[in-house]
Amino acid sequence: MQRVQQLKKLGRRVQKGFTLIELMIVVAIIGILAAIAIPQYQDYVTRSRWSSPLSEVAPLKQAIAQCAQVSGGDLTTCDTIAKLTAATGYPAVPAPTGVTLTFGAGATAAATATQIDIEMVATAANLGSGNTCSVRLRGTSNANAITWAGTTFGGTCTRAQTGV
Cα-Cα-Cα-Cα dihedral sign, residues 148, 149, 153, 157: positive
pTM over 0.75: no
Mean pLDDT of the chain: 82
Q: Is 31 a domain residue? A: no
Q: Is 3 a domain residue? A: no
Q: Is 107 a domain residue? A: yes
Which tops the pLDDT comparison, 37 or 144? 37
Amino acid letter at 6?
Q
Q: Is 57 a domain residue? A: yes
Burial-class residue 69 by CB neighbours within 10 Å (0-12, 13-18, 19+).
middle
Q: Is 117 a domain residue? A: yes
Q: Is 76 a domain residue? A: yes
The domain of 116 spans: 47-162
Q: Is 7 a domain residue? A: no
Q: 88-146: per-residue pLDDT in tens? A: 888 887 888 788 888 887 888 888 888 888 888 887 776 765 667 888 899 888 877 88
- Looking only at the bridges linking them, the beta strands covering 134-142 and 115-122 are antiparallel
Q: Is 139 a domain residue? A: yes
Number of Cα atoms under 13 Å in the Cβ half of residue 121? 11
Q: Angle at CA 79, nearest 5°, toward 77 and 83?
A: 60
Please tell me the total count of domains within the chain. Answer: 1
Amino acid letter at 135?
V
What pLDDT band is residue 10 in, cutting at 50, 70 and 90?
low
